Chain A
Amino acid sequence: MTEPLLSAERLTRVYRLGEEAVVGVQEATFSVEAGEFAVLAGPSGSGKTTLLNLLGLLDTPDSGRLLFEGRDASSLDETSRARLRREKLGFVFQAHQLIPVLSAEENVAFALWLRELPEQQCRSRARQALRDVGLEGLESRRPGALSGGQRQRVAVARALVGEPALILADEPTASLDSATSERLLDLFVELHRSRRVAFLFSSHDPRIIGRARRRIDLIDGRIVSDVTVSPAGTIPTAAPPSGSGREGTPS
């Protein structure tokens, strides 16, 4: 049995606002295996973002442990955390996450610039990643000239281009309309299949939640259920599946 990619043990994060203490996440225990496709489900304020920040090594827990590939993440210094984030993880956020003065291709290449790879290699891998997310032909557009859905795809390409083990996506569809959201999920499913990259994303939208193989429910910072909905290897797909990555027009 290989060890899990990530394993959280009684992770707790409490925000302090003066006298008041607000629970972000309480005693969260679960693990993410390589190649999983899981959703963090829960209403607004249930602790999805807090938990994803902890798992993504962006935030540190007040108590509990986080093991990353078997190593205790709390023993890592800031530099090692940054390196882990750029080499092992991919991030997709809600919105406004691209550099507006860089083209789609450069935004994706940026993730490789951080690893100081040669420009040629950064560029060709970025172009490939953009093809993989269905944005071929839009490489030289800047974010301002792309639609919301296209921008999220560029972000996915950026998360993907470094070949991470796990992509963390905090409400990636929150700023998209439902049709565009469905197509972004189609892309996730497709990439998950073809690249064997694990996905952990959060959502409060039942239709998006329904697409995941495993569903972890959060309420008031606590994990209230953790079920694998569909059998291993099968992931529910939206009907009809969309083959096109071109959704919407630039707003």
Chain B
Amino acid sequence: MSGRWWKLAARNLGRHRRRTVLTGSIVVIGFIATTMTAGFVSQTFTGLRDVTVKGLGGEIRLVDPRAAGKTDDEAAAFLLESWEAVARGAAKDPAVVQAMPRLSFFGLVVKGDRSAGYLGTGTDPAMEQRASSLVEAVGEGKFLADPEADEVMLGTGLSKAIGAKAGDLVTVMTTTPDGALNAVDAPVAAILRYPIKELDDRLLYMPYRPASRLLKAEGKASSVVLLLKPGADAAEVAGRIAESLKRDGRPVVARTWLETATFYRQVKLLYVSIFFFMGLILATVVILATANTMTMSVFERTREIGTLLAIGMERGAVRALFLREGMLMALGGSVLGAILSLLLRAALNASGIELPPPPGGTHGAPLHVDFIPLAYLAGFVMMTSTLLLASWWPARRAARLDPVEAIAHV
């Protein structure tokens, strides 16, 4: 029964075709902006998440409870007693792909008469290759291979500081947790090009075994890093594993990548704020443009509205007439916006445009705008509510006209 009122609303929109097209295109653009931004932001988050997880070597980090919440310097003294027992316990969880030991240490690296301070990591070469992006940073030489070999990889900055090249022999000196001095001679397997300058100047990698011997901490580790199956809920798995290790009598603190990734969270917050702010501006523009058009339309149709009120149309029905016009505009704009969004997305994704690397990443990725059905729904809801809001005042104005004055209006 309301079909005729929708038809009338549609025809009224057709009255000033150019004006409707202009206002409508603002709605369409608003819709496209919503879906495209959401798709792009989503891709960025996915990329940033990958970079973050790869930077950590996995989604979950298990540390000794005494080390939790301490700085790396302070935590150095609190090692997991048996990383293998922790790893075995954690690996029982079906979501865990691998459990990798990491041992942090620091000291001086020396070549000839030049030396420099380093931040060292002992790690399992095979697991490191699988879980992290470190292998992509190898600029010169080869990634660590033999888990038993006394070998190091140095950041470019660090290698320059002591004048070392791949193949050169360097001496790695450190202080053990007990306070004793120790050193080992190791050939440089590779020079790393690490994207963060401050770290590139200090980084040193060594296989876990020789590193633990150097520290006189065999079997111990600063952390065990867990790589999870794709799609696993890191927080849930972390809780599960902490619980089960506690039962085994090996209490650990399990931190997910998200908990440690302050940077990721800040970027996300920033993006969400930008997105929200943009949406607000967009909604304001759409509201102003449509409210203006609608007000003009009410003004031009004053006499007609007066006649309709005179012949007995209810005020509520007059208001509904204008609200319907707003709704139709939102609906039409959203449908057209959705079609154009999908086309634009297909075109952009096929274009092969390369994006600059995300913060902390080494490689740019081809532009890919995700398809997020929720964003399309959000676009529709946003446009509908925006247009309802925009047509509210003009519709109310129309409904409140005095028929006598309106009919006399010229």
Contacts and interface: CB of A to CB of B under 8 A. Distances in A.
Chain B binds chain A:
yes
B14 to A, nearest CB: 7
Contact of A86 (B14, B303, B312): B312
Interface in B120-173: none
Interface string A74-116: 0000110011111101010100110111100000001101101
A169 B192 CA distance: 93
Given A85-B310, A85-B312, 19 more contacts: A82-B309, A82-B313, A86-B312, A86-B313, A87-B312, A91-B310, A93-B307, A93-B310, A93-B407, A96-B303, A100-B15, A101-B14, A111-B311, A111-B312, A113-B5, A114-B317, A118-B1, A119-B4, A158-B311
B311 A114 contact: yes
Interface in B1-51: 1, 3-5, 8, 11-12, 14-15
B259 interface: no
Interface of B: 1, 3-5, 8, 11-12, 14-15, 303-304, 307-315, 317, 403-404, 407-408
Contacts of A93: 307, 310, 407
A101 B9 CA distance: 10
A102 B315 CA distance: 20
A97 to B, nearest CB: 5
16 contacts: A49-B408, A58-B310, A82-B313, A85-B310, A85-B312, A89-B312, A91-B307, A93-B310, A96-B303, A96-B304, A100-B304, A101-B15, A110-B311, A113-B5, A114-B312, A159-B311
A109 B144 CA distance: 86
Contact of A53 (B1, B15, B304, B404): B404
Contacts of A84: 312
Question: 5 tightest CB-CB pairs across the interface, nearest first?
Answer: A86-B312, A101-B11, A85-B312, A97-B307, A82-B312
Nearest to A90: B311
A89 B309 CA distance: 13
A114 B311 CA distance: 9
Contact of B403 (A58, A89, A111): A58
B187 to A, nearest CB: 86
A3 interface: no
A56 interface: yes
Contacts of A97: 303-304, 307, 407
A116 B8 contact: no
Nearest to B307: A97
A100 B303 CA distance: 12
Nearest to A79: B314
A78 B401 CA distance: 13
A58 B404 contact: yes
A8 B403 CA distance: 21
Contacts of A159: 311
Contacts of A101: 8, 11-12, 14-15
Contact of A83 (B5, B14, B312): B312
A200 to B, nearest CB: 15
